Amino acid sequence: MPNTPVPSGLLADLYELTMAAGYLETHFEARATFELFVRSLPPRRNFLVAAGLEQALEFLETVRFSSGDIAYLRQHPAFARISAKFFDYLAAFQFSGDVWALPEGTVCFPGEPLLRITAPIAEAQIMETALLATISFQTMIASKAARVVKAAAGRPIVEFGSRRAHGTESGVLAARAAYIGGCLGTSNVRAGQLFDIPTYGTQAHSWIMAHDREEEAFAHFMDIFPHHSVLLLDTYDVRAALEKVIAIGRKPRGVRLDSGDLAADSIWVRQKLDEAGWGDVEIFISGDLDEERISRLLDTGARVDTFGVGTSLSTSSDAPSLGVLYKLVEVERGGEVREAAKFSAAKVTYPGRKQIYRETDSRGDYAGDVIALKDERMPGEPLLLPVMRAGKRVSR
């Protein structure tokens, strides 16, 4: 994010730092490759959408250990026997590795590396926690957004969930991820500013309730925002509210339904708007929506131009976590390369740096993916691309 403070290297689990100290204390000099991937799909998901790469690269490029960070570690009991060499290393810390990754917005599946990092082993180890958190959250939200967008069958989705997100930063990043997942835009103004995402808004029940008369609330809003008024109809009575809007005689850009029988009300509202010659006035539907409720609304004939989706999207409420892993796959030490794998039950990992090849059929539809070693050549398009070399982002 622009104007974001330099991220602290303490954004790590303690064992990342104790392992890094151990490598330095024992003079274990190696270049390691870790791959970040999802072991299995969460409930109700049959694909994922990669997201969060931009923030991950920003972190890698700018993360540092401040004097305060180092002072904190010096007094931590875990580092009581660690020499000054480690703290000097942290004071000069700057990530110097290479990164290959899936472009954001790429559909992906379990076992496929979303990101591959090769760096001095201590550097790569310290980065684990921040990379997992950054990629996991946005991939989870982008994947949910893709499902919601698909359910809307071509109708736009606006992300409305910032107020229900797990903190203000999460709200901003959820808006970004939802946009990557196919949403038209967001209600979050900060996300619009930072990421150039289109922003949209209507009005709240409080605006209507603050006025003595509902028609006065509608008229005042259209006076102030003649080209951007989306009027909320369900504060008191949807049908009476629409009659008042029509009686004012000025077309709003749209009307919004947020509660009640959304399907029946939307059909009635569309009929009345059309009868008034207002066929271009849009109907916006919101109110605890998710992909299943959207599908049911459309199946029952709801008339809707745009959906606003909040809580279920910004929290991925039906699958609120993603099992993203960061596993060692190769160690180069003393000129020798050793591929690393794990064989414990239910936690198997495959050795070696990998590439993903995606095959398509004659219509351009997905036909299948092949996970290969990086030097193997397979039919299809290679998906992992170089995004960072020697700690600096590759220009695109």
30-84 per-position pLDDT tens digit: 999 999 999 999 989 999 999 999 999 999 999 999 999 999 999 999 999 999 9
Confidence category of residue 350, pLDDT binned at 50, 70, 90: confident
Give pTM, 2 decimals: 0.94
Q: What CATH number does domain 14-140+322-393 carry, 3.20.140.10, 3.30.300.30, 3.20.130.10, 3.40.50.300?
A: 3.20.140.10
The 3-class SS string of the chain reads CCCCCCCECCCCCHHHHHHHHHHHHCCCCCEEEEEEEECCCCCCCCCEECCCHHHHHHHHHHCECCHHHHHHHHCCHHHCCCCHHHHHHHHCCCCCCEEEECCCCCEECCCCCCEEEEEEHHHHHHCHHHHHHHHHHHHHHHHHHHHHHHHCCCCCEEECCHHHCCCHHHHHHHHHHHHHCCCCEECCHHHHHHHCCCECCCCCHHHHHHCCCHHHHHHHHHHHCCCCCEEECCCCCHHHHHHHHHHHCCCCCEEEECCCCHHHHHHHHHHHHHHCCCCCCEEEECCCCCHHHHHHHHHCCCCCCEEEECHHHHCCCCCCCCCEEEEEEEEEECCEEEECCECCCCCCECCCCEEEEEEECCCCCEEEEEEEECCCCCCCEECCEEEEECCEECCC
* Cα–Cα distance for residue pair 164/214, rounded to 1 Å: 28
Q: What is the average pLDDT value for the chain, to the nearest integer?
A: 96
Radius of gyration of the chain (CA): 26
Confidence category of residue 342, pLDDT binned at 50, 70, 90: confident
pLDDT of residue 396: 65
Residue span(s) of the chain under CATH 3.20.20.70 come to 148-314
pLDDT of residue 210: 98
Confidence category of residue 98, pLDDT binned at 50, 70, 90: very high
Residue span(s) of the chain under CATH 3.20.140.10 come to 14-140+322-393
Q: What CATH number does domain 148-314 carry, 3.20.20.70, 1.10.3720.10, 3.90.1280.20, 3.90.105.10?
A: 3.20.20.70
Residues contacting residue 205 through CB under 8 Å, at least 6 positions apart: 232, 235
Using CB atoms within 10 Å of the CB of residue 20, give its burial: 0 to 12 exposed, 13 to 18 middle, 19+ buried.
Answer: buried
* Cα–Cα distance for residue pair 89/92, rounded to 1 Å: 5
Angle between helices 214-224 and 238-248 (to 10 degrees): 50
Strand partners, 389: 392
Using CB atoms within 10 Å of the CB of residue 236, give its burial: 0 to 12 exposed, 13 to 18 middle, 19+ buried.
Answer: exposed
pLDDT of residue 3: 56
Q: What is the mean pLDDT of residues 244-266?
A: 97
Residues contacting residue 381 through CB under 8 Å, at least 6 positions apart: 357, 358, 360
Q: What is the mean pLDDT of residues 183-206?
A: 98
Q: Kindly report the length of the chain.
A: 396
Tell me whether strands 185-186 and 230-232 are parallel, antiparallel or unpaired: unpaired
Checking if the pLDDT of 194 tops 60, the result is: yes
Checking if the pLDDT of 255 tops 80, the result is: yes
Checking if the pLDDT of 164 tops 80, the result is: yes
CB 36 within 8 Å of CB 326: yes
Reference 117, options 329, 347, 366; nearest CA is 329
Residue 61 φ/ψ, nearest 5 degrees: -75, -25
**CA atoms 211, 216, 218, 224: torsion sign:** negative
